[in-house]
């Protein structure tokens, strides 16, 4: 990395700009992008009104493209780089959204893939005799997706077989999220947990990323909403921004308790960036759903906007839905304050009314959405559990489904009673 201190940024094969390894980090738009009919800022805070940007706004946008927490620490050790620039230099080929980062002067490579098997991917993740060994081709290289959990991006072929990108320019169709391997066995069957909660949201027609359980890998397999196919079945990258990027906050300031975006701020960011009114209603449903299923980790970075052809800006399908309260030892606090309160046990009807007023909605309108959502959850829990039981083939997996079903049912009924909506 010492010989090349800049990265070129592309979108749809168009040269957007260059990221310079300076203190502070600097990003310059190219003249060709500024003149292009397709030009738009990569994020609102880095506007097209000037060529060069530097400082916290540049750092916040690009830093949010990098995995967080232990995964970031692993990347630092593996590649002996520590800065945002250094990390993007090794994992910036297929980020979330539409941008591709390559070392300046390198040309974009044609997408190429290596067809493999789910068993080989399992071995690669477990580190036991996999044929996937070359880091440029292996599953370990595909850690360019932001978030605190280990995940990999892959291509799923029409017949259901997986393929690993043979270079970092190859777009992928799915995200593979294995069981969380931290905190010993306290967080057990997390992939099945996430699949259950995601499929429950889908059954409620909440517009959620498509998720299925991959039993061989023991992973949640999620179809990427930031990739679409053209008429030739080529994958096209869509530009997306999570709400930390929109708010100019680095990923370590994603929680409201750390001065990250509040729920009210999330609504403002969505409205300022032109999402339609229906998406603001979806925000309300997202809050209620996370409270009902016990997903206390529902922070602003788990909300994004996407730029869709012929539709404009939309709140993306929901993702990273997991019942965290099923596991003892995790935070009892809800990531966002509801009417000034972040302990779910203290979020009463008055807090819901305050939240409604803060968001600019009539309380009865909001409460009605919560009541309907609770009824739908209780009606669909058994069906979702039954469908997943067909692929839950280990002793702990059926137990997880039973425990999670009971946990969400009990929590939903408890909140119904407290809010007098049941």
Residues 99 and 118 in one domain: no
Residue 380's closest CA among 190, 189, 205? 205
Residue 229 covered by a domain: no
Residue 271 in this model has a pLDDT that exceeds 70:
yes
Residue that finishes a domain, picked among 79, 103, 127: 103
Contact 91, 165 (CB under 8 A): no
> Cα(77)–Cα(50) distance, rounded to whole angstroms?
37
Q: Sort 58 into a burial class: Cβ within 10 Å, 0-12 / 13-18 / 19+.
A: buried
- pLDDT (tens digit per residue) in 93-152: 778 889 999 999 888 888 899 999 999 999 888 875 555 544 333 344 433 444 444 678
Taking the model in full, what pTM does it have?
0.92
Rounded to an integer, the average pLDDT of 308-330 is 93
Q: What is the pLDDT of residue 3?
A: 52
**Cα separations (Å) of 413 from 44, 130, 195, 374, 420?**
42, 46, 22, 8, 10
**Is the model more confident about 72 or about 313?**
313
User: Within 10 A of 252 (CB to CB), how many other CB atoms are there?
Assistant: 13
Residue 4 in this model has a pLDDT that exceeds 60:
no
Residues 252 and 400 in one domain: yes
Contact 61, 42 (CB under 8 A): yes
Q: What is the pLDDT of residue 60?
A: 95
Residue 231 covered by a domain: no
Residue 73 covered by a domain: yes
Residue 422 in this model has a pLDDT that exceeds 90:
no
Rounded to an integer, the average pLDDT of 382-400 is 93
Residue that finishes a domain, picked among 103, 123, 154: 103
Q: What is the mean pLDDT of the chain?
A: 90
182-218 burial, b if ≥16 CB within 10 A, otherwise e? eeeeebbbbbbbbbbbbbbbbbbebbbbebbbbbebb
Residue 1 covered by a domain: no
> Cα(248)–Cα(96) distance, rounded to whole angstroms?
17
Residues 119 and 141 in one domain: yes
- What's the domain range around 14? 6-103
User: Within 10 A of 35 (CB to CB), how many other CB atoms are there?
Assistant: 8
Residue 108 covered by a domain: no
Residues 72 and 125 in one domain: no
Residues 410 and 339 in one domain: yes
- pLDDT (tens digit per residue) in 199-237: 999 999 999 999 999 999 999 999 999 999 888 888 999
Q: What is the pLDDT of residue 234?
A: 85
Q: What is the pLDDT of residue 265?
A: 98
Residue that finishes a domain, picked among 73, 103, 133: 103
Rg over alpha carbons for the chain, rounded to the nearest Å, is 21
Residues 212 and 249 in one domain: no
Q: Sort 60 into a burial class: Cβ within 10 Å, 0-12 / 13-18 / 19+.
A: buried
Collapsed DSSP state (helix, strand, coil) of residue 11:
strand
Residues 29 and 173 in one domain: no
Residue 228 covered by a domain: no
Residue 184 covered by a domain: yes
Residues 69 and 127 in one domain: no
**Crossing angle (nearest 10°) for helices 277-293 and 349-359:** 160
Place of tokens 């067809």: 115
- Tell me the CATH number at 412: 1.10.1070
Residues 301 and 281 in one domain: yes
The total of structural domains in the chain comes to 3
Residues 35 and 177 in one domain: no
- pLDDT (tens digit per residue) in 43-84: 999 999 999 999 999 999 999 998 876 778 887 888 888 899
The count of residues in the chain is 422
Joined together, the tokens standing for residue 227 give 């990739």
Residues 387 and 409 in one domain: yes
Rounded to an integer, the average pLDDT of 340-354 is 97
User: Both ends of the chain: CA-CA distance in Å?
Assistant: 59
> Cα(159)–Cα(182) distance, rounded to whole angstroms?
33
Q: What is the pLDDT of residue 113?
A: 92
Residues 89 and 118 in one domain: no
Residue 232 covered by a domain: no
């Amino acid at each position: 990395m010492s010989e090349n201190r800049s990265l070129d940024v592309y979108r749809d094969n168009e040269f957007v700009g260059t990221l310079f390894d300076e203190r502070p980090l600097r990003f310059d738009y190219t003249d060709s992008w500024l003149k292009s009919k397709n030009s738009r800022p990569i994020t609102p805070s880095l506007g097209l009104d000037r060529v060069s940007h530097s400082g916290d706004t540049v750092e916040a946008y690009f830093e949010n493209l990098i995995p967080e927490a232990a995964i970031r620490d692993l990347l630092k050790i593996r590649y002996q780089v520590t800065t945002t620039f250094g990390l993007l230099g090794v994992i910036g080929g297929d980020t979330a959204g539409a941008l591709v980062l390559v070392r300046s002067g390198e040309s974009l490579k044609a997408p190429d893939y290596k067809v493999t098997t789910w068993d080989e991917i399992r071995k690669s993740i477990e580190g036991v005799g996999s044929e996937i060994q070359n880091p440029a081709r292996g599953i370990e290289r595909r850690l360019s997706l932001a978030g605190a959990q280990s995940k990999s991006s892959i291509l799923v072929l029409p017949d259901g077989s997986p393929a690993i990108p043979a270079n970092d320019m190859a777009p992928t169709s799915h995200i593979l999220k294995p069981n969380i391997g931290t905190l010993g066995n306290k967080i057990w069957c997390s992939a099945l947990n996430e699949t259950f909660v995601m499929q429950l949201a889908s059954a409620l027609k909440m517009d959620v990323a498509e998720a299925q359980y991959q039993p061989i890998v023991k992973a949640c397999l999620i179809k990427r909403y930031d990739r679409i196919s053209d008429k030739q079945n080529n994958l096209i990258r869509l530009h997306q921004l999570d709400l930390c990027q929109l708010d100019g906050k680095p990923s370590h300031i994603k929680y409201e308790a750390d001065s990250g975006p509040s729920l009210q701020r999330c609504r403002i960011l969505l409205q300022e960036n032109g999402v339609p009114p229906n998406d603001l209603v979806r925000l309300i449903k997202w809050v209620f759903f996370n409270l009902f299923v016990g997903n206390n980790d529902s922070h602003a970075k788990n909300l994004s906007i996407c730029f869709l052809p012929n539709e404009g800006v939309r709140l993306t399908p929901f993702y990273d839905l997991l019942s965290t309260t099923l596991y003892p030892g995790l935070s009892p606090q809800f990531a966002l304050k509801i009417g000034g309160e972040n302990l779910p046990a203290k979020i009463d009807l008055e807090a819901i009314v305050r939240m409604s007023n803060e968001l600019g909605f009539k309380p009865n309108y909001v409460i009605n959405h919560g009541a309907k959502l609770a009824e739908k959850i209780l009606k669909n829990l058994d069906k979702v559990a039954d469908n997943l039981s067909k692929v839950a083939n280990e002793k702990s997996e059926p137990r997880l489904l039973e425990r999670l079903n009971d946990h969400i049912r009990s929590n939903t009924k408890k909140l119904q009673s407290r809010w007098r909506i049941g």
